[in-house]
Structure 1
Amino acid sequence: MERRQRHIIYRLNQWRMQKISNRNFMVLLAVVVGIVGGLAAAALKGLTHYIAAFLQDDLQWQYKYYLYLFFPLIGILLSVLYVRRFIRKGTFEHGMTPIIYAISRKSSRIQVHNIYSQIITSALTVGFGGSAGLEAPIAYSGSAIGANAGRFFGLNYREVTMLLACGAAAGIAGAFNSPVAGMIFAIEILLPEFSIPAFIPLLMAAATASVVSKLIYSEPLFHLVTDDWEFQALFFYLLLAVLIGLFSIYFAKISVWVKSAFAKIKNPYQKVWVSGLSLGLMIFLFPSLYGEGYISIQRILDGRTDALLANSIFADYQHVGILVTVYAVITVFAKSAASLITLSSGGNGGIFGPSLVMGGLLGFAFSYGINLTGLIELNVPNFVVAGMAAALSGIMHAPLTGIFLIAEITGGYALMVPLMLVTAISYLINRTILKYSIYTKALAEQGDLLTHEDKDRTVLSMMKLRYVLERNFTILRPDERPADRRYDIIHTKRNIFPVVDTTGKLLGIIYSERLFEILLGENLEKKDQDKTMRELAEKPVDIIQMDVNMEAVMQKMNREDIWILPVVDADGNYMGFVSKSAVFNKYRALLMRQATYLE
């Protein structure tokens, strides 16, 4: 049956290659990916908001509000149970980092189950109150749609990567109804290099997904009414950008600490209890932490500055301006902790949404606090919008996405100049301290990040030692003498021989010049001709372990100024040799592959 299916797919590909040019076929597939991605985005938003609405509005029970302490725990527990029950053969990951890793190290392969499993688990996590965003899961789902569509039609790495990016763009465009931001997001985060033709499939996928999502789920994310920005507020926009840039550094630092803390908890259900109860308590104190948190931002944009405390235990103080400001600042730090706890404990979501909420709250606290001093009257909604863009830019290292996403989802195109300034400053501050974004830091530390700032290092990181390992060497045994292997030594094409015992251990190496001198009897005493290979073998200048990355291999070769080195496994067993010639050949092949990466 499987053989028959492969044959049908092969015949289908043959037909389409004859009838449709590759460029037009990519555009057609981008539209299909956009349609499916838009449907996935609408399904995720609809399912999440249905769960949240049922728990908050439809569920009628006298003691319902006591359950708010346990809703996040239930959501994360259901997500963990789903993964452990239904994803046994594959692996389940969340966030943007695995997508970037798939492009860099896995030839853009993403497991099929991510198309639906990302939607299910994130809807459960966020719908039950997990303090995370839906954007990373829908981008992951869209990427899986695009990548597997490319694999189905037997496309090459460049084309599959393009469709993967189209899927991610479709997911973001569908989630926010923002096609331009979806396209720019794919370029900034997933595609390190691109050319003009790359815009066409991305535009088609993002636009199609936005239309489909809007037809099914037309509710806009935010409403903003603003005419323009005032020049005298420029200094305060710049000051806000600096503050949020510094906060983005804090967020990146604390994310590492939270992840490492939860990594020490080995039992997944212990993580669920710890995170669920912690989230429940935080949501009890700060109700705006429930789910994505966009409702609180919209209320502030509507001018309801007291709404932040309205449903909390501090509701009696909602008209005390200084307390509102302090509460907003505390909520920002609580949101950072809540989102990281949600994502580190088994819940599925992203930092995209929390970044918007934290930035918006910082913009609100800053402008509202300045207004309380009486020095100047700032437009609070404008600063909320600017804060959202600045936070997205600093945390994700995506300034263009921050500009166009916020302009699209709020309609705040009149604020384009402040948006450009705050995103640039926030990005530069974060980038000055932290070279990599929260998405790419772990990959960079592992040497798995595809970056074009250091092309040599990037290409070397894409290599695997096993792919350049050479094994066609004549192996000599320790008890043999040169005369015993005369024929093999003379007729070999290699100038180096490994001496390996019967258990596979590498004992040393012998160069052909030494053996030829012995076999030809030139300037040697007879005792040298009687020596065994064990006695003739010499210790290599260095030995390469099989699990070492190629960057370390080249560093050793350059340091010792040597062209070839033996390779052994963890037990010291001989595996072969690695040479600069093989590395350079592979290097050229990868450069050619990158040259066509996104032409």
Structure 2
Amino acid sequence: MPALAVVVGAGAGLGSIAFRWLIATFTHLFSGHPDYAAAGHAAHPEFPWLGPYFVLIAPVAGGLLYGPLVDRFAKEARGHGVPEVMLAVAQRGGRINPQVSVVKALASALCIGSGGSVGREGPIVQIGSALGSTLGRVAKVPADRLRLLVACGAAGGISATFNAPLAGVFFAMELILGAFSAEAFGAAVLASVTAGVIGRAAFGNTAFLTLPPFHVEHLGQYGLFAVLGVVAGVVGVGFTRILYWVEDACDWAWRGPEWLRPAAGGLPLGLMLLALPEMYGVGYSVLEKATQGGYAVAFLLLLLAGKVVATSLTIGIGGSGGVFAPSLFIGAMLGAAYGAVAGHLMPGTAGDAGAYALVGMGAVFAGASRAPITAVVILFELTGQYTIILPLMLAIVLATATSRLLSHDTIYTLKLRRRGIDLHAPAPQAPLGTQTVDTVMEAAPPLLSVNTELGTAADLLTRSDHGALPVVDDHGHCVGTLTARAVAEALAASPDARPTRVSDLAQPAPAITADMPLATALHALVTATGTGLPVLDPGTGHLVGWLTHQSALRALHSAPTPTATMT
């Protein structure tokens, strides 16, 4: 497995080099500039007679190229990419279509190069993950290792593209796998380090964003950063909602073939770029200028709103690209405007507005993705600004909490839920977990009252087939379980310290209801002491059955075996 992780990391590193070269090539081809977002309303050097109006044509031409490519060869390459990888890991055993890596690279580079207002982290995650999945299937590794190789590809892609090896690891753990383990961490580190070495050899060992140093100069600033975190959480959720609202509007408005949709939608996108050329492509140069105080507050707010609309429109018309860079852009505009206003109102306390821009970047990303660890680490690595780490952590945690209060889903999971997919539910063809608990539970064993003497309870446990018995109160509500081990330890204690009643030893049990999916109940069952757990009526809370390991295994044995599919 370590060797495979290294190979996947190397592939992701090389893939990121090729992807960034493609973006630079297509950007220069379509706009005539290395970064048109920083060029203002400049004309294309090859077509000066068009003036700035060439931006009306560029998105249309780009859409004519990548629209048929995506529609014909890999439809999953449309959009921002990360949700498809999360789905592959959660419910498809890590299987990703092999040609996704090539199609995604070309489609995203064409989209960004022709003016699409999206980022490159989603594409590189999908590219690296597809490489990991393909290598794992060639090597015929088991499903759990295949999922791990997919995460290794994502870690390597982030590491090489942004010179952020730690962020790559935590991105893979927190967003792709959704869990931490020593084996997964070790494999992701190997892939990330390998990709990072390759990336640094190609791009140099410097921070991705060049920003002036920021410092917290007054304790009162922490209160301002806390408020910014809450506001950023709201903005992150708002960005998510608008993104999918615009996508719905585009679905409603378009009635033609899907391959033509990006070209047709390129015209309104071009009109927006004509009015606000700062929206062209990824826009990191505009982001850096905002953190350095290069824009007035009103224009910062215009750029914020413009990025939300431009990114939503790019995704809505069928474009291919990520939402990480746009969320950083939105956060920088929000933070810079917030810092400028705070500095005007509290000049002796607020400090440098650039610090708020930096914190806003991480907080809006956290509010949209709800990945606080990744947000903290990636902002530190992208900027090299350790002096701002404390307010950054504070704002990111508050943004995440605010996002959780306002929305059940993140910018990544909402795309899947809108298609009827719940990442935490069992896979559609899973043999175990689609049933509800009441279809597999056993009859309830003898009940123990909280007032039962301990000796009586011990007798009942010795005659029972279970290592635990349910305990109910005077109203018949289940309050927990009593295990044989707890009784044995109590009876072995000295007479003065020995408890006398069941209520002294009853242990609270997880709330398992009869209508709960078995897949959900299994998480509680595998950690339970004894051999089973009480099942409650969802309405009254009364005991109606008993869920054991044996009953769950019988459900697995009687379930039909799914037919494996390879994509």
In 2, are the aligned partners of 1:132 and 1:291 still within 8 Å (CA)?
A: yes
Structure 1 counterpart of 2:361, from 377, 382, 388 = 388
Residue 153 (structure 1) aligned with residue 139 (structure 2) = yes
Counterpart secondary structure, 2:387: helix
The aligned residue for residue 350 of structure 1 is 322
Query: Partners of 1:190 and 1:300 in 2: how far apart?
Result: 31
Deviates more, 1:156-165 or 1:210-219: 210-219
Distance 1:68 1:93, change over 3 A: closer
Q: Of 275, 287, 292, which aligns to 2:265?
A: 275
Q: Select between 388-397 and 367-376 the one with higher mean Cα deviation.
A: 367-376
Contact 1:251 1:395 in 2 (8 A): yes
Structure 1 alignment gaps of length 5 or more:
1-25, 307-323, 452-457, 469-548, 553-557, 564-578, 591-599
Q: Work out whether residues 460 and 587 of structure 1, in 8 Å CA contact, stay in contact via their aligned partners in 2.
A: no
Deviation at 1:325, TM superposition (A): 0.8
1:47-100 CA-partner distances (Å, limit 9, x unpaired): 212322342338333224210222222223321022245x17x75444211111
Measure, in 2, the Cα distance between the counterparts of 1:135 and 1:39.
15
2:168 counterpart residue number? 182
Which of the pair has more CA radius of gyration?
Answer: 1
Give the match for residue 53 of structure 2.
66
Number of the residue aligned with 1:333 = 305
In the other structure, the counterpart of 1:29 is 4
Rounded to whole Å, the distance in 2 between the matches of 1:288 and 1:326 is 15
Q: Which amino acid aligns with 2:403?
A: N
1:82 aligns with one of 63, 69, 81: 69
Q: Which residue of 2 aligns with 1:409?
A: 382
Tell me the TM-score normalised to structure 2 length.
0.71
CA RMSD of aligned residues (A): 3.1
CA shift, 1:375, in A, is: 3.5
**Which residue of 227, 232, 236 maps to 1:239?**
227
Q: What 5-or-longer segments of structure 2 have no aligned partner?
A: 34-43, 436-516, 521-536, 539-543, 546-550, 563-567
In the other structure, the counterpart of 1:597 is none
What is the percent sequence identity of the aligned residues? 29
Residue type of the alignment partner of 1:158: D
Is this contact kept in 2: 1:147–1:163, CA < 8 A?
yes
1:394 and 1:427 in contact (8 A); partners too: yes
| Cα gap change, 1:225 to 1:448, in 2 (>3 Å) | same
Structure-2 residue corresponding to 1:515: none
In the alignment, does 2:214 pair up with 1:214?
Answer: no
Q: Is the 8 A contact 2:78 2:319 kept in 1?
A: no
Which letter maps to 2:55? Y
Cα distance change of structure 1 residues 157 and 141 upon mapping to structure 2, 3 Å threshold: same
Aligned mates of 2:398, 2:561 — CA distance in 1: 39
The number of residues matched between the two structures is 439
CA shift in 2, pair 1:362/1:274, >3 Å: farther
TM-score (norm 1): 0.68
Q: Which has the higher helix share?
A: 1
Q: Is 1:266 aligned to 2:255, yes or no?
A: yes
For the pair 1:56 / 2:45, whether they are aligned, the reply is no
2:372 aligned residue (393, 399, 406): 399
- AA of the residue aligned to 1:235: G
| Equivalent of 2:239 in 251, 268, 285 | 251
Q: Report the CA distance shift for 1:262/1:412 in structure 2 as closer, same or farther (over 3 A).
A: same
Please list, as runs of the form range in 1=range in 2, the aligned pairs for 1:107-126 lying within 5 A after superposition. 107-126=93-112
SS at match of 1:226: coil
- What is the deviation of 1:394? 0.7
The answer as to 2:189 corresponding to 1:198 is: no
Check whether the contact 1:448–1:462 (CA below 8 A) recurs between aligned residues.
Answer: no
Whether the 8 Å CA contact 2:112–2:282 is kept in 1: the answer is yes
The aligned amino acid for 2:59 is: P
Q: 2-side partners of 1:414 and 1:448: how far apart?
A: 41
Q: Are 2:406 and 1:433 aligned?
A: yes
Q: Give deviations 1:161-210, integer Å, cap 9, x for gaps.
A: 00000000111111111000010011111112231222111011111111
Q: 2:200 and 2:228 mapped to 1: Cα distance?
A: 33
For residue 370 of structure 1, what is the aligned residue in structure 2? 342
Answer yes or no: is the 8 Å Cα contact 2:55–2:274 preserved in 1: yes
Deviation at 1:450, TM superposition (A): 3.4
**Residues 214 and 355, structure 2, Cα contact 8 Å, conserved in 1:** no
Q: Indicate the SS of the match to 1:132.
A: coil
Displacement of 1:580 after TM fit? 8.7
Q: Distance in 1 between matches of 2:214 and 2:111?
A: 38
